[in-house]
Amino acid sequence: QKSPQKPTALEQKILQKVQKTSKITRKELALQLALSEETIKEYLDRLRKKGFLIRRGGRKAGYWEITEG
C-alpha cells in the first residue's frame, strides 16, 4: 500500500495560486513565483502524477482543478 504523498513547499505555493485562479497560465505562475516556465511545467506534471491537479478543457479555454491527492 502506497503512503499518501504530501506536496512540497513549492508544490503547495503552486496549488494555492491555482486555487485562487483556476485559469492561471504557466507563464503567470512563473512570473508570480519567480521561476522559469519549464520549472512550472515540471511541477505541474508532478502535481498531476501525484493526483493533486487535473487539467480540464483545452489549452486556451481550459482550467486547473485541485483534487484530494
What's the whole-model pTM score? 0.87
Please say whether the beta carbons of 63 and 56 come within 8 A. Answer: yes
Structure confidence at residue 1 (pLDDT): 45
Kindly report, residue by residue over 3-50, the tens digit of the pLDDT.
468 899 999 999 999 999 999 999 999 999 999 999 999 999 999 999
Structure confidence at residue 69 (pLDDT): 62
How many beta carbons lie within 10 A of that of residue 43, not counting itself? 22
List CB contacts of 48: < 8 A, sequence separation 6 or more. 54, 55
Q: Angle at CA 53, nearest 5°, toward 42 and 68?
A: 135
Structure confidence at residue 60 (pLDDT): 85
List CB contacts of 46: < 8 A, sequence separation 6 or more. 11
Kindly report, residue by residue over 56-65, the tens digit of the pLDDT.
998 888 999 9
